[in-house]
Structure 1
């Protein structure tokens, strides 16, 4: 049987891993799993309000800037236009959003929050806060600030790298 380290976790050798033993190869799996777990908990927290995964982002984007075209929403949330169109259709049927023609350009349709959509913002915010509290249990405020800073840097690097591979075109 392998020896255990202070944190109680065992590595491939049967020995527990010390935090210093993690390598760059551990990053993608750990980050992907953490994101999945966050999404799962947030989705579970939002179920009572009738919202599905991804719909919270649409509502929060519209709460910040109501009356956006579907394409703009898709860009803001990093999804493809057809996905956003289906999401908006479902949310419209649920009564969270409505589509209206633009006041100055009738060819353009914009998405607006309904009263139910506006009322769900508080529930989304509190559900996200509860998820954040759970995820960062045992972290100091400094740890949280560092984590957010590092995650934003990772996102920025990945987005910049993605654009580099496309020769700057979208």
Structure 2
């Protein structure tokens, strides 16, 4: 490639780097990255028999022991019906079981089965591999900065969601 072509390519890259950020550039990039890591995680979880999303339930149960469906939903930031379906699938696969709560008979807790506990190592390996693939080429400092920024964005959005309630977009602008 000639010097002129290389210079044109560098100029184009510089312009792109300093182009104004559009209204959906940040949210679009976050959503796409989340979809991509979920797709990679799903592929990496295949050998464990789980799908992306189920791993979070399994790891939460491993960390906390038995939990109610509501507590799991809250911990993982999903709605109760979604958690109920996920628990049903995990139960059908033999990874979890529902039992009456020992202190409050009105409640049902979800616990890992021996099969579920045996799959935790594979889940951890799949999560680690997915994260390594996602962060390939980033320095430790860049990863720490990325985490800090994503946590700040999440905190901002959680605050807005809590404050806004059911207000529509026109009222917020």
Structure-1-length-normalised TM-score: 0.86
Q: 3-state DSSP class of the match of 1:159?
A: helix
Equivalent in the alignment of 1:5: 10
Counting only pairs closer than 5 Å after superposition, residues 41-60 of structure 1 correspond to structure 2 as 41-60=40-59
Instruction: Identify which of 18, 21, 24 aligns with 2:19.
Output: 21
Structure-2-length-normalised TM-score: 0.85
Farther-moved stretch of structure 1 (113-122 vs 98-107) = 113-122
What RMSD over aligned residues (CA atoms) do the two structures have, in Å?
2.0
Runs (4+) of structure 1 moved beyond 4 Å? none
Farther-moved stretch of structure 1 (155-164 vs 20-29) = 20-29
Q: How far apart, in 2, do the equivalents of 1:137 and 1:90 lie?
A: 33
Per-residue CA deviations over 1:10-63 (Å, capped at 9, x if unaligned) read xxxxx9622x33526310111110000000000000011110121001001101
Shift of 1:80: 1.0
Q: How far apart, in 1, do the equivalents of 2:103 and 2:120 lie?
A: 28
Per-residue CA deviations over 1:55-88 (Å, capped at 9, x if unaligned) read 0010011011011000110111111111111111
Equivalences, count:
159
Q: How far apart, in 2, do the equivalents of 1:155 and 1:123 lie?
A: 28
Equivalent in the alignment of 1:62: 61
Shift of 1:157: 0.9
Q: Which has the higher contact order (CA 8 A, sep 6+)?
A: 2
Q: 3-state DSSP class of the match of 1:98?
A: strand
**Greater gyration radius:** 2
